[in-house]
Amino acid sequence: MFSGSVWKNIAVLGIVALISGITVFTVHAITKGYIIKSESRYAKRFLFQVAPNANYTNDILTDTINIPKKYFSMLGIESGEIHLVKINGKLISIIVPSIAYDGYNGKIKILVGINLDGSIVSVRVVSHKETQELGDKMEVVKSDWILNFNKKSLNNLEPKSWKVKKYGGYFDQFTGATITPSAIIKQVHETLKYYEMDKSRIIKELDVFNEIKVSNNFEGGN
């Protein structure tokens, strides 16, 4: 039989363990929420960089439409929304989230701005796990490599050109590295192909939405 002091020690240890568990859970919950909010703010910052100019008149953060599930694998996402860029209610471009999973150190999250004619407004890397040297090549403040996507489209760049120059493509590779730029190039190409496949739905949904909005405004005016 345990003595009273032993039971007392067990009880104290139990209480300490319980308090520790609650503390760890609380800190994790608070930290997780902070991390999610920080990542969200970080991603939103890139939305403004991908928008074509400062003349848009809508809120590109909240003006969105859902991406159909059948395109998730093509874009490398598990869920997502297209951000709409408009001037005076007229759609001029969209911003599409996409993920390349074959970077040197894993997945690379990108945003691709696309004009209605299918040409690229701009591309930005939102997050990655590459080394600092490779990461610097993807950041527009440190390198102009990512700007090479601007104005490219499925119409003005043939399929075989969506590769680094080492493999017969159009785009420069990084010094001593082809895996990371190849992953980004491939995923940007896939994102453009997605847009061509989903373009009619996007425009149709917006037309229907605008018709409903106009109708509601008209009825409200009476």
- What's the pLDDT at 110? 95
Residue 207 is classified by DSSP as H
- What's the pLDDT at 210? 55
pLDDT in tens, 18-66: 676 565 555 544 444 443 444 455 556 778 888 876 688 898 888 999 9
Long-range contacts (CB closer than 8 Å, 24 or more residues apart) made by 85-91: 85/51, 85/52, 85/56, 85/58, 85/60, 85/113, 86/56, 86/57, 86/58, 87/55, 87/56, 87/57, 88/57, 89/57, 89/58, 89/210, 91/116, 91/203, 91/206
Judge whether 113 and 93 are in contact, CB under 8 Å. Answer: yes
Spans of all domains in the chain = 51-221
Angle at 97 between CA 94 and CA 103, to 5 degrees: 140
* pTM of the predicted model as reported, rounded to 2 decimal places: 0.75
Q: Which mean pLDDT values do the consecutive 10-residue runs of the chain (222 residues) have? A: 59 65 55 44 72 81 93 95 92 94 89 95 90 81 92 96 95 88 96 96 75 44 47
